[in-house]
Amino acid sequence: MPAITEKIMKIIFWLSGMAIIFFLAGIMFTLLSNSIPAFEEIGLKPFFTDGVWRPSAFAEPTYSLLNMIMGTFMVTAGALAFAVPVGIAAAAYLSEIASPWEREFFKPIVEILAGIPSVVLGFIGLVVLAPLLAAVFNIPSGINALNGAILVGVMALPTIITLAEDAITAVPGEYRHASLALGATRWQTIWKVTIPAAFSGISAAVMLGMGRAIGETMTVLMVTGNMIARPTSYLDSVRTLSANIAVEIGDVVFNSLHFHALFVVGLVLFMITFIVNLMADILIHRKPEVNR
């Protein structure tokens, strides 16, 4: 009897492990298979040629993703422009300078920030940041790409800080001591020795933060205005790939062309984040700088 239980349990656990691969593959397959009818009907080109996304237009629906890709790019780039320097500086401080007391104090703060639901950040963007931006830039509404970029930057910060700190902490103490012994100042040691030694780990942190920023949905949906026109500046309203799905997923007709086109948007979004995460993965597991 026990031998049979033993076999059954082994199979159950094996299946559960394989299920993880199956789920990821299932997501890919679902996105792809639901996109194919759209590709068959309208082809690949209309998605990537100049124009706007107007799939439910009565007369002549158009399916260009370009403005949305640009919107995603603007929000992500803006978010990283703010979150990367702040995040790396915070990680360097936590790892290299902070006293144990400061570390005990600041690390939970970073974790709490990571725990704030994105819909709550979106709400804050709506009620606090939008009026503030409107006043600062003297524009009628602060619902724009800049608002989204700032909030998504806040969302990406905890990811970048935590992972970059791990990477910097993992640099062996000898590196620092050697640098100091050669007469480098502490500041030089941090910027010329420690951080370069942790470079691939820090890049991975940035990539994962970027992955989060690209996929972030609710915050962006609530604060960027979701206009389909081509944005010309950060003070314009933009619509990102993720927000576009969220806007239209509620009332799209099942199995319509619009439905399948929406999966094309999902597929593009998935592929972008997949590649970014894969690059982060490769960077994390390279760790060539620590040869002991």
Partner 1 sequence: MNRNKNISSVREWKGAELAGCWLLRFSLILVLFILGFIIYDLVSKGLEVINWEFLSDSPRVGMTEGGILPAIIGTFYVTLITIAFAVPFGVAAAIYLNEYAVQGRITRLVRMALRNLAGVPSIVFGLFGMAVFVKLFGFGPSLIAAGFTLGLLTLPVTVTAAEEALSTVPRSYREGSFALGATRWQVVRTVVLPRAMPGILTGTILGLARAAGETAPILATGAAFFLPYLPDSVFSQFMALPYHLFIMSTQHHDIAAVRPIAYGTALVLVVLVFFLNLVAVVLRRRFRSRAAKGL
* Binding residue count for partner 1, defined by CB under 8 A: 95
Q: Which stretch binds partner 1 (CB under 8 A): 36-44, 52-60, 101-109, 131-139?
A: 101-109
Q: How many residues does the chain have?
A: 292
Measured from the CB of residue 59, what is the shortest distance to partner 1 in angstroms?
27
What is the footprint of partner 1 within residues 232-261 (CB under 8 A)?
242, 245-246, 249-250, 254
* 4 contributes a contact to partner 1 by CB under 8 A: no
Measured from the CB of residue 277, what is the shortest distance to partner 1 in angstroms?
4
Measured from the CB of residue 252, what is the shortest distance to partner 1 in angstroms?
8
- DSSP per-residue codes, the chain: -HHHHHHHHHHHHHHHHHHHHHHHHHHHHHHHHHHHHHHHHH-SGGGGSSS-EETT-SS--EE--HHHHHHHHHHHHHHHHHHHHHHHHHHHIIIII--HHHHHHHHHHHHHHHHS-HHHHHHHIIIIIHHHHHHHHT-S---SHHHHHHHHHHHHHHHHHHHHHHHHHTS-HHHHHHHHHTT--HHHIIIIIIHHHTHHHHHHHHHHHHHHHHH--HHHHHHSB---SPP-STTS-B--HHHHHHHHHTTPPTTSHHHHHHHHHHHHHHHHHHHHHHHHHHHHTT--S---
Residue from the set 40, 58, 60, 100 that interacts with partner 1 by CB under 8 A: 100
What is the footprint of partner 1 within residues 107-136 (CB under 8 A)?
108-113, 115-124, 126-128
What is the footprint of partner 1 within residues 21-80 (CB under 8 A)?
21, 23-27, 30-31, 34
Measured from the CB of residue 151, what is the shortest distance to partner 1 in angstroms?
10
User: Which is nearer to partner 1, 42 or 156 (by Cβ)?
Assistant: 156
Name the pairing type of β-strands 62-63 and 53-54.
antiparallel
User: Which is nearer to partner 1, 250 or 288 (by Cβ)?
Assistant: 250
Residue from the set 40, 59, 99, 292 that interacts with partner 1 by CB under 8 A: 99
> Any bridge partners for residue 63, and if so which?
53
> Quick check: 228 and 51 in contact, CB under 8 A?
no
Residue from the set 196, 278, 286, 290 that interacts with partner 1 by CB under 8 A: 278
* 145 contributes a contact to partner 1 by CB under 8 A: no
Measured from the CB of residue 221, what is the shortest distance to partner 1 in angstroms?
8
**Pattern of binders to partner 1 over 168-207, x per CB under 8 A?**
-xx--x--x---x----xxx-x------------------
Measured from the CB of residue 21, what is the shortest distance to partner 1 in angstroms?
5
Residue from the set 1, 20, 181, 253 that interacts with partner 1 by CB under 8 A: 20
